[in-house]
Chains A and B, each alone.
Chain A
């Protein structure tokens, strides 16, 4: 997302240690709220939700002794801006190998902003069956005032109130050079 533009980092809001702690707390909260890991199914939203979901699954396995199911959603074909001019997203693979029927699904994404990605993910999920519950875990919540749909997270790593002109980037070692979260802005022309 926007990787090709030269963005200026205004501030770093999380380093690798802080991210690790946040992921570990999120994992504990997920287990606590759901009274264990039975019927849990973590579903990462491509791209950066995927490694986050993996890390949470490992963390939950450490806590509970069983690894919850995990899967991957690619929401490209469910986007609401597909037909607008200029949109040309690449399609990647969705991997939900286990039946979602009766499961507690925890959608995992890096940043919650307008809520449109989550809407697309929910629509896609329902095409796969009828889960018992769907919850949302995000590393960063940019704040309710940005929401364009009535969608909120159940588990939040860090609430970061931001301006619309700012961009929050979660950098993960799977895709980036560093492991950190920063607030970026477009350089002033």
Chain B
């Protein structure tokens, strides 16, 4: 018997089983149709309150969660760090407990420190959904990536997926590595040695190939996932210059030709055109970046629905 996803919190992909992940994806597929309606709203979460607590800048993810909540008829409140009491010296847990006293049903949290959602889950009565914690996890991004792959490749098991770029600092990469290996994909990671430590092969129990060159990862791949170069971390000199990065690790049409003919390209956004991905590739029909954004809303609707009481099996 398949285990249902009926967890209160979604803190990461790491703790989920393959069956639970599939259950969330199946549910999300059924939520897609709602966003195509004239009236893009269903009454499922009427009377529920969702708080988007974002300690880090975000446009796409926050908007996506907000739309997801609103399309389910929940009341969504957005709190960003610049307007919160944190700037007045309040601790994280005090902020959480104060929000909790207002009886929200779900708190969606993003923070630059790993483990913050896990801490909140311990003190809060609301369901906690991780919208990105430091370099740890970004579970809904991995789920929407998986959904995009499934829509185009039908299944994830057996696919070769190349993840290229700043793996070290990327929560997107970690969540994706967990999810894709759990579902049976063959995952290869590549990037500058400083940003792809060999230790990464021990991140998961499954095989994870660490490739020294981008070409090794891309050859024969079904999916090429490009990560954003986090310019804000440039001071640490992980590589000499953006220009050099573009030359050695940027995804160009030429490099993409090494992948399978029907390979698809994913990028979690925001893109640095001409650095990690060339404009030719980004605007080509193989790039599914806007599909990812579209499925993001459906995935978050499914996650909010499941976190506040829904189930993936009867």
A34-B41 Cα distance, complex, nearest whole Å = 31
Q: At the interface, yes or no: B284 with Cβ under 8 Å from chain A?
A: no
- Closest residue of chain A to B310 (Cβ to Cβ) is A88
- Chain B positions near chain A (C-beta within 8 angstroms): 4, 6, 27, 29-31, 33-34, 37-39, 41-44, 46-48, 72, 302, 305, 309-314
Nearest Cβ on chain B to A116's Cβ, whole angstroms: 14
A77-B312 Cα distance, complex, nearest whole Å = 13
Contact at B309–A129, with CB atoms within 8 Å?
Answer: no
Given contacts A88-B6, A89-B314, contact A127 B41 (CB under 8 A): yes
A78-B42 Cα distance, complex, nearest whole Å = 7
Contact at B309–A91, with CB atoms within 8 Å?
Answer: no
A-B contact pairs, 30 of them (CB 8 A): A74-B30, A77-B34, A77-B42, A77-B43, A77-B44, A77-B305, A78-B42, A78-B43, A82-B309, A83-B46, A83-B47, A83-B309, A87-B309, A88-B4, A88-B309, A88-B310, A89-B311, A89-B314, A90-B312, A91-B305, A92-B30, A93-B30, A94-B34, A123-B43, A124-B42, A127-B39, A127-B41, A127-B42, A128-B37, A129-B38
Residues of A within 8 A of B310 (CB): 88-91
A128-B37 Cα distance, complex, nearest whole Å = 7
Q: In the complex, how many residue pairs between chain A and chain B have their CB atoms under 8 Å apart?
A: 57
Given contacts A78-B43, A83-B47, A127-B39, contact A93 B309 (CB under 8 A): no
Interface core residue of A78, A90, A91 (most chain B CB under 10 Å): A91
Residues of A within 8 A of B30 (CB): 74, 91-93
Contact at B33–A93, with CB atoms within 8 Å?
Answer: yes
Given contacts A90-B314, A93-B29, A127-B39, 7 further A-B contacts (CB under 8 A): A77-B44, A82-B44, A83-B309, A91-B31, A91-B305, A93-B30, A93-B33
A95-B29 Cα distance, complex, nearest whole Å = 12
- Closest residue of chain A to B39 (Cβ to Cβ) is A127
A interface, size bucket: 20 to 34
Residues of B within 8 A of A88 (CB): 4, 6, 309-311, 314
A124-B33 Cα distance, complex, nearest whole Å = 13
Residues of B within 8 A of A123 (CB): 43
Contact residues of A between 58 and 116, Cβ < 8 Å to B: 74, 76-78, 82-83, 87-95
Nearest Cβ on chain A to B46's Cβ, whole angstroms: 8
Residues of B within 8 A of A77 (CB): 34, 42-44, 72, 305
Residues of A within 8 A of B313 (CB): 90
Nearest Cβ on chain A to B35's Cβ, whole angstroms: 12
Nearest Cβ on chain B to A126's Cβ, whole angstroms: 9
A158-B41 Cα distance, complex, nearest whole Å = 36
Contact at A90–B27, with CB atoms within 8 Å?
Answer: yes
Residues of B within 8 A of A76 (CB): 44
Complex partner residue of B33 from A89, A90, A94, CB under 8 angstroms:
A94
Residues of A within 8 A of B41 (CB): 127
A153-B305 Cα distance, complex, nearest whole Å = 32
Residues of B within 8 A of A74 (CB): 30
Contact at B37–A127, with CB atoms within 8 Å?
Answer: yes
Nearest Cβ on chain B to A65's Cβ, whole angstroms: 31
Residues of B within 8 A of A124 (CB): 42
Nearest Cβ on chain B to A76's Cβ, whole angstroms: 8
A94-B6 Cα distance, complex, nearest whole Å = 22
Complex partner residue of B311 from A90, A93, A127, A128, CB under 8 angstroms:
A90
Residues of A within 8 A of B29 (CB): 93
- Pick the 6 closest A-B CB pairs, nearest first: A88-B311, A77-B44, A77-B42, A127-B39, A93-B30, A91-B30
A156-B221 Cα distance, complex, nearest whole Å = 57
- Closest residue of chain A to B29 (Cβ to Cβ) is A93
A127-B33 Cα distance, complex, nearest whole Å = 13
A76-B305 Cα distance, complex, nearest whole Å = 11
Complex partner residue of B39 from A83, A91, A92, A128, CB under 8 angstroms:
A128
Residues of A within 8 A of B312 (CB): 90
A78-B311 Cα distance, complex, nearest whole Å = 15
A171-B152 Cα distance, complex, nearest whole Å = 36
A24-B65 Cα distance, complex, nearest whole Å = 48
Residues of A within 8 A of B48 (CB): 83
Residues of A within 8 A of B6 (CB): 88
Residues of A within 8 A of B33 (CB): 93-95
Complex partner residue of B38 from A87, A90, A92, A128, CB under 8 angstroms:
A128
Residues of B within 8 A of A78 (CB): 42-44
Residues of A within 8 A of B46 (CB): 83
Residues of B within 8 A of A93 (CB): 29-30, 33
Residues of B within 8 A of A82 (CB): 44, 309
A74-B47 Cα distance, complex, nearest whole Å = 21
- Closest residue of chain B to A127 (Cβ to Cβ) is B39
